[in-house]
Amino acid sequence: MKKLLALPVVLGLASLLPTTTTPQSRSITIDGAVIDCSRIQELGIDRQANLRAARIRVLCGLESPGEPAAGTGASQTSGEAGPFANVNTITGTETYPSVTQSESMVWSSDGNTIVVNYNDSRTAPGNYSGVSVSTDGGASFSRLGMNQSPFASGHGTNYGDPIVVYNARLSTWFAGDLATGCGGQGIGLWTSSDGSNWSVGACAHNGGDDDRESMWVDNNPTSPFY
């Protein structure tokens, strides 16, 4: 009798469970491109660390979106070792919850001009880039762009993954991020003569799944690679 009674109970409970659509069985549209969620692993999107890949995984239901931490945005210096205090590179107003910055690459041309390229959610999802510059050796910084980064236009949607260098031989700054205008998810470049005023450059690489790019320049005048 116990077995006969248990069977309908189990079936009854199963019939009450909600039915869900498997995330991999649908498609999403992002930046005009249709992504088949069932091909996430095939395309390597599950292994990528960039913001576009993360957004795809969230929209496909494979990850939960992150929650920004509440805070004042003030520079924190407590617990820092050494003689140098933190300097806030994020200037200007911010509107919660678009207050997140992450990753960065820093370069100086002469010890006075310092450029920091980083991910910035200020105008996401249309742009995930931010850039700040110091002209006093890092004593203070200004975030460029009154309302958005100068890297927000010229190469479609900017998904961050920052790179920046100064080429002494060319007297030119080069900064880059992952961008949809360079093959869907390639590497777009911007150039500057002073680190503060930027122009759209070329696509360093046209690709559909670029990730974790890096850039370096040899500024040693005695080097064969100068």
Q: What is the pLDDT of residue 146?
A: 80
Whether the per-residue pLDDT at 19 is higher than 60: the answer is: no
Rounded Cα distance between 8 and 10, Å, is: 5
pLDDT digits (tens, 9 = 90+) for 163-213: 999 999 999 999 999 999 999 999 999 999 999 999 999 999 999 999 999
What's the predicted TM-score (pTM) here?
0.75
Q: What is the pLDDT of residue 148?
A: 87
Cα 216 from chain centre: 19
Rounded Cα distance between 26 and 112, Å, is: 52
Q: What is the pLDDT of residue 80?
A: 52
User: Of the given ranges (11-25, 99-113, 116-130), which has the lowest mean pLDDT?
Assistant: 11-25
Q: How would you classify the pairing of strands 163-167 and 172-179? A: antiparallel
Rounded Cα distance between 152 and 129, Å, is: 7
pLDDT tier at 68, thresholds 50, 70, 90: low
Whether the per-residue pLDDT at 3 is higher than 90: the answer is: no
Whether the per-residue pLDDT at 149 is higher than 90: the answer is: yes
Q: Residue 113: helix, strand or coil by DSSP?
A: coil
Q: Which long-range contacts (CB under 8 A, 24 or more apart) does 128-134 make?
A: 128/51, 128/158, 128/159, 128/160, 128/177, 129/158, 129/160, 129/162, 129/177, 130/90, 130/101, 131/164, 131/175, 131/198, 132/89, 132/90, 132/91, 133/195, 133/196, 134/87, 134/89
pLDDT tier at 59, thresholds 50, 70, 90: very high
Whether the per-residue pLDDT at 11 is higher than 90: the answer is: no
CB 143 within 8 A of CB 91: yes
Q: What is the pLDDT of residue 25?
A: 74
As a whole number, the mean pLDDT across the chain is 85
